[in-house]
Chain A
């Protein structure tokens, strides 16, 4: 008998006795007034923090979340204006070299920036990426509810581009903005199921830690800066 069979056998044996439903314990004086019955999570959506009903509300939520998270968030009308924002970052932060991947938005940005660029698409050296000042990537979605960016290794140039360089710049189309995580995961399923990329990451703000006296420090391991440029008409 394999270890798998042994463990699953013990689990099956254990489950022959049934357990009370949550909230049905003795002493629970406030029985739940709602029935969830497990599925679907769209039902739970109404109880979580709201992401806003309209695009304007959602942009506002994303913006408020970004301020708190210290995400550098820009909404721009066009690629041309996005390139202006990028040029300002390049000059302001003194970028000498960047890492990026090929894609409609990133290609335009890389051309406009005119810096030496490490492309990740066909494989790359992590030691070389370590010398890049910024990583420029696309994404799959922006989540209004939480101020998050959803990336996969397909949409964002692999696993490391969005986390190894000290500054991560995300280029997004405004139509990628979704209300909340529930819609974000639904979108991921529509885009990829059943052949999902091997990494799907929900990024919320720049890397952070509170491990020293619960004091917030940015850039613990991942990027110290996260810039999100949301382009209305790319």
Chain B
């Protein structure tokens, strides 16, 4: 299968290893991976702020570039939800609506793609550490991703999995919300970090780099020993 990777802008610049890990995993499974360089952002910041015409300025080229792909795989539940769930809404009643609906069917969040499209849970990975999983809200509630990441982690050798309290509670990132209401965003993140730390885990794993950027930012500032890592970065380890 030819898999088109969508690497969101902040993953590209700040977390390149997440994308690299995805490429390695998918290639190991024998798939051809392509990555259009001119696709950089899904338009979610403008969309979530209510600026839909401006969001379309960003989203339309993405739609045109990706609509004929066999499968589009995304490193983030949030960007995945944007393409899969919100593009049809953003383009509702416009000429691009059909294309947006068609693209929606081809779009997969990374863990969902492995488990539910490829039917794979055991990647032969090895990661000797204690980890807990944070369910990113968009992945969980817009895309319905809950068991997939856990089934993948279950098969990782040496990995000890422990659930944290309130793993489904928002970490407080929320895109532009994190900058517009930093005090609320930070308070929510503190609650999440406390719950994660209480498990005694070495790592907080998630399928969304944006949540992890927020949590790692708080943990580093608190000089906590707990680290964050993207699911793909765990699954790539041999």
CB distance from B141 to the nearest CB of A (A): 8
Cα–Cα distance between A30 and B89 once the two chains are bound (Å): 17
Query: How far apart are the CA atoms of A189 and B55 in the complex, in Å?
Result: 56
- Using an 8 Å CB-CB cutoff, how does the interface string of A20-32 with B read, 1 for contact, 0 for none? 0000001101100
B142 at the binding interface (Cβ < 8 Å): yes
Task: Please classify how large the interface on chain A is, using the bins under 10, 10 to 19, 20 to 34, 35 or more.
Answer: under 10
A26 proximity list for chain B (CB < 8 A):
85-86, 88-89
Min CB distance, A31 to chain B, in Å? Answer: 12
Question: A29, B144: Cβ atoms under 8 Å?
Answer: yes
Interface of B is mostly: helix
Q: How many B residues face the partner with a CB closer than 8 A?
A: 8
A30 to B85, CA, bound (A): 13
A-B contact count (CB 8 A): 14
B residues 136-162 in Cβ contact with A at 8 Å:
142-144
Among residues of B, the one whose C-beta sits closest to the C-beta of A25 is B89
What distance in Å separates the Cβ of A20 from its nearest Cβ neighbour in chain B?
12
Instruction: Give B109-163 interface residues, CB cut-off 8 Å to A.
Output: 142-144
List which A53-108 residues lie within 8 A (CB) of chain B.
Answer: none
By the criterion CB–CB under 8 Å, are B88 and A30 in contact?
no
Contacting residues, chain A, for B89 (C-beta < 8 A) = 26-27
**Contact of A29 (CB < 8 Å), options: B86, B88, B142:** B142
> In the complex the two chains form, what is the Cα distance from A15 to B70 in whole Å?
43
Question: Contact string, B80-109, partner A, CB cutoff 8 A, digits 1/0?
Answer: 010001101100000000000000000000
Q: Smallest distance from the beta carbon of B77 to chain A beta carbons, Å?
A: 12
Chain B residue numbers with a CB within 8 Å of A27 are: 81, 85-86, 89, 142
Residue in chain B with minimal CB distance to A27? B85
A54 to B213, CA, bound (A): 57
Shortest CB distance B183–A (Å): 26
Query: Can you list 10 pairs linking A and B with CB atoms under 8 Å apart?
Result: A26-B85, A26-B86, A26-B88, A26-B89, A27-B81, A27-B89, A27-B142, A29-B85, A29-B142, A29-B144
**Top 6 A-B residue pairs of the complex, sorted by shortest distance between their CB atoms:** A27-B85, A29-B144, A26-B89, A27-B142, A26-B85, A30-B144
Q: Contacts A26-B89, A27-B81 given; 5 further ones with Cβ under 8 A?
A: A27-B86, A27-B89, A29-B85, A29-B143, A29-B144
